[in-house]
Structure formats: C-alpha cells, structure tokens
C-alpha cells in the first residue's frame, strides 16, 4: 500500500478515535452532573419559596393554600422531577406557571405541569409571532412558545392565584418581552432581567445574550424604584434578601 492511502486511513482512524474520546468525555461529564448534583439541586429560601436548580437555569416554587405557583419550568426534565421528589411535591400540585420569557431554559419542562394554568408575557408572544431573531448575529435563531394553551399578560396586570397576589412587571432587554412577577408585594422574580453580583443588581457579563441593552438599563432603573420589595430571585445569579442594598447603585 502506498503512503497516500496509509495517511488517509490514519487520518480517518484518528478522527474516529477523537470522536469516541470526546463522546466518552461528554458522557462522563453528564453522568457526574446528573448523579452528583444533589447538594445544589434544591433549597428552601423562605418558608414559602423553594428553588430548584437544574443544569442550566433555576425555577422557583411559591407555596399557596392549595398547591404551588411555579416561576418558569427549568430546562432538564429529569433534574426538575428529582427536585420535586426531594421536596415531596408532585408536578400536578403546581396550579399556575408564570413564564418570564421564551428562552428554552425557562420553558422546556412545561409538559410536566399539564394541570397548571400558564401565564405568558404578551410582548414576548408578539416577538415570537413576528419571527424576531433572538440574536442579531444569528438571524436564523428564533424563539418559540412551547405551550398550546396559555393566558397572555401585560405590564401592570394583577392576578389572584389561590391566596397569592401577583403583579406583572415588564422588564424587557434580555428579550423584548421579558417580564418579572411580584408576589404578595414583596417577592420579585426577575428572570434574566439582570444579574445579581455581590448582592447588587447589575448588567450581565455576556452582553451577546441581551437583545436590547438600553431597554435592560431602563428595566433596572424601573426595578430600583419599586416599593415594598424585600427579596429578588433571579434565574441564573441567585437571590438577595436585601432589596435596598441591591438597588443602592
């Protein structure tokens, strides 16, 4: 056999071995994350607020008289289900789901809550229907609504869910229709409207994930003027129980 076919075969073998090694490494990482994630999976932040962390994002559960309100649904179904099992809660106990925005890591596990009423931001839905690109540099990527049946909500809408009062607050910027939810006047669930860094709300490091940075700045200013808030719960950067300090900049 001449040197040319030998070199080609060597390249093919090297490529196959590289792919197999990469697949094995990915499998190892996923295995570790799935089976050694228990210490960070879930925590009870207050007597009525539970956090469930999956591999990508965070969902929250707020206890009501007869069940729970979920803020977003998380991304990984297996991990979210495990979080429910740890807290001895059934998915059907969730009476309502409040979606902050349409990125997949915030609504991917929606099918788990088939008995819940879904609330979805109207401006976010319009962004989807208008086929607005999620990223300006990737115009072929557009968000979708993962739900068949849902109720659209607007800025300043008020909801009564069981014994909980919910106010909808438009916090656009991360996406064009991003929305926060204030529960009982003291809990602000902000989605990806901003990050919490060293206890203060701030702009994110990864600006490429933000659709409109100027709108995000205005949303942060809007949050800083809210009254009565005691806690902020973000989707990727934790929470704070000191609202005054968080907005002191």
Residue-wise pLDDT tens digits, 179-224: 999 999 999 999 999 999 999 999 998 889 999 999 999 999 999 9
pLDDT at position 136 is 87
- The residues pairing with 215 across neighbouring beta strands, listed in sequence order, are none
Of 12-21, 119-128, 198-207, which has the strongest mean pLDDT?
Answer: 119-128
Mean pLDDT to the nearest integer, 146-155: 96
What stretch of H or E contains 77?
Answer: helix 77-86
212 and 172 in contact (C-beta within 8 Å)? yes
Per-residue pLDDT tens over the stretch 51-93: 999 888 999 999 999 999 999 999 999 999 999 999 999 999 9
Q: What is the rounded average pLDDT for all residues in the chain? A: 91
The CA-atom distances, in angstroms, between 19 and each of 28, 41, 150 are 14, 31, 42
Q: What are phi and psi of 10, to 5 degrees?
A: -60, -40
- Whether pLDDT at 104 is above 60: yes
* Residue 151 CA: distances (Å) to CA of 82, 117, 147: 28, 8, 10
For residues 145 and 83, give the distance between their C-alpha atoms in angstroms, rounded to a whole number: 24
The pTM (predicted TM-score) of the whole model is: 0.86
Angle CA(6)–CA(8)–CA(12) in degrees, nearest 5? 115
Closest of 136, 75, 64, 140 to residue 110, by C-alpha: 75
Q: Encoding tokens for residue 111?
A: 């099918």
Give which of 107, 113, 119, 111 is closest to 94, Cα–Cα.
113
Residue 94 · residue 61 · CB < 8 Å: yes
pLDDT of residue 19: 74
E strand residue ranges, the chain = 42-46, 49-53, 58-63, 68-71, 94-98, 117-121, 133-135, 138-142, 151-153, 158-161, 164-170, 179-183, 187-191, 195-197, 200-202, 231-234, 239-240
Q: Which of the pair, 22 or 69, is modelled with greater confidence? A: 69
Residue with tokens 């064009």: 176
Q: Quick one: how far is CA 100 from the chain centroid?
A: 7
What's the pLDDT score for residue 195?
96
Q: 131-169: b or e for each residue (b if 16 or more CB lie within 10 Å)?
A: eeebeeeeeeeebebbbeebeebebebebebeebebbbb
What pLDDT does 55 receive? 81
* Domains of the chain, each with CATH number or no CATH: 37-246 (3.60.15.10)
Give the contacts of 42 (CB within 8 A, at least 6 positions apart).
Answer: 50, 51, 52, 53, 83, 86, 87
pLDDT at 137: 86
Question: What is the band of 123 on the pLDDT scale with cuts at 50, 70, 90?
Answer: very high
| Phi, psi dihedrals of residue 34, rounded to the nearest 5° | -70, -35
């Amino acid at each position: 056999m001449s040197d040319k076919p030998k070199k080609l075969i060597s390249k093919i073998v090297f490529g196959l071995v590289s792919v197999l090694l990469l697949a094995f490494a990915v499998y190892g990482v996923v295995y570790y994350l799935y089976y050694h994630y228990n210490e960070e999976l879930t925590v009870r932040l207050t007597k009525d607020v539970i956090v469930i962390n999956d591999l990508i994002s965070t969902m929250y559960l707020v206890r009501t008289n007869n069940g729970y309100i979920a803020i977003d649904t998380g991304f990984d179904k297996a991990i979210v289900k495990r979080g429910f099992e740890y807290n001895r809660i059934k998915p059907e106990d969730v009476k309502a789901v409040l979606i902050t925005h349409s990125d997949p890591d915030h609504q991917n596990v929606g099918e788990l809550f088939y008995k819940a009423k879904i609330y979805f931001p109207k401006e976010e839905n319009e962004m989807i229907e208008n086929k607005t690109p999620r990223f300006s540099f990737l115009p072929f990527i557009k968000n979708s609504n993962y739900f068949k049946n849902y109720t659209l909500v607007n800025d300043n809408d008020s909801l009564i869910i069981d014994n909980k009062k919910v106010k909808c607050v438009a916090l656009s910027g991360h996406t064009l229709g991003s929305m926060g939810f204030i529960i009982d006047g003291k809990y602000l669930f902000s989605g990806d409207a901003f990050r919490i860094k060293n206890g203060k709300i701030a702009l994110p490091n990864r600006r490429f994930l933000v659709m409109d940075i100027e709108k995000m700045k205005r949303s942060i200013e809007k949050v800083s003027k809210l009254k009565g808030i005691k806690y902020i719960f973000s989707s990727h950067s934790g929470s704070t129980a000191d609202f005054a300090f968080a907005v002191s900049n």
